Homo-oligomer: A and B are copies of this chain.
Amino acid sequence: MSQKIRVTVWGENVHEKKIPLVGEIYPQGMHGQIAAGLKESGNFDVRTATLDQPEHGLTEEVLAQTDVLTWWGHCAHGAVEDKIVDRVQARVLQGMGLIVLHSGHYSKIFRRLLGTTCSLTWREAGEKERLWVCQPGHPIAQGLGTYFEIPNEEMYGEPFAIPTPDETIFISWFEGGEVFRSGCTWKRGNGKIFYFRPGHETYPTYQQKEVQLVIRNAVNWARPEGSPWIDTCPNVPIDQAPEKITQQGGSLHKAGEAGYR
């Protein structure tokens, strides 16, 4: 593993420019801050991409050279073009890791991969969040104690409308009385997905050391393993069946054709 992991940090970058409070907390944009946290690992090659770039900065070339993609979006999910979502989904299924952050729960790509609404309850009161580690030995939880706290955060509460996660790494306790599955993993195709809850744009969450550490851990965990799973839906001609058989009954297709898609 001498090769660096190639990370692309995607940011919507809208509120940073429109809302002075957000711009003050994140002068480089949230993507800039998230990228800075990742660069503290010497083992990552980090670049950023944003909504306003051509193809949202996620060209075929960029994605082909991305091992792990992180995603933060909030007010402009609808502005992400479907063809770019298709492209990101295809790469995840091949094996690219995906880290979805905070309000990214409602992004097109997250809902596309999970198939559910991904809704939740919420409150913007700047209350305390305490994230408990549910899988102490898990790579994503390394370097943390039994829990860590974020002094001011938006609340996200259950029910979180997701399919059962493969593993629940963090569950949050909120000062106002709610709970939330704040760190969840899934695998879709050959790609690993991690959802990590914290990161409301009106608080300096991505400047907090524990949050940065979790995202670095998650990138390491989500890096591609094995080989890309390139999707096809091949017809196996009769004369290439592993066991010798002959055609019986009626048929619609010619040998070797692509079929309906």
Residues of A within 8 A of B (CB): 1, 15, 19, 21, 74-75, 77, 89, 93-95, 103, 106, 112-117, 119-127, 130, 132-142, 146-147, 152, 155, 157-161, 163-168, 171-179, 181, 186-190, 201-203, 221, 225-229, 231-238, 241-243, 245-253, 259-261
- Residues in B with CB closer than 8 Å to A158 are 132-134, 171
Q: Which residues of B contact A152 (CB under 8 A)?
A: 248-249
Interface of chain A: mostly helix, strand, loop or mixed: loop
Contact B245 A127 (CB under 8 A): yes
List 19 interface pairs A-B (beta carbons < 8 Å), by A numbering: A75-B260, A77-B261, A93-B161, A103-B260, A117-B189, A121-B146, A122-B259, A123-B236, A123-B238, A125-B241, A126-B250, A134-B181, A138-B225, A163-B187, A164-B166, A173-B178, A173-B242, A178-B241, A202-B251
Which residue of the partner chain B has the closest CB to A220? Answer: B225
Q: Which 8 A-B pairs have the closest CB atoms?
A: A177-B242, A126-B249, A126-B248, A137-B190, A137-B229, A176-B241, A202-B250, A177-B243
CB-nearest residue of chain B to A20: B250
- The docked-state distance in angstroms from the alpha carbon of A232 to that of B147 is 16
Partner of A132, one of B74, B95, B179, B238: B179
State A126–B245 Cα separation when bound (angstroms): 9
Q: How far is the CA of A142 from the CA of B225 in the complex (A)?
A: 10
A137 near B228 (CB under 8 angstroms)?
yes
> Assuming the A-B contacts A158-B134, A188-B115, A249-B203, are A121 and B242 also in contact, with contact meaning beta carbons closer than 8 angstroms in the complex?
no
Given contacts A122-B259, A125-B251, A140-B226, 17 further A-B contacts (CB under 8 A): A15-B252, A77-B260, A117-B231, A122-B236, A124-B252, A125-B238, A125-B241, A135-B159, A137-B228, A139-B225, A142-B226, A155-B236, A164-B187, A173-B173, A176-B243, A179-B179, A203-B249
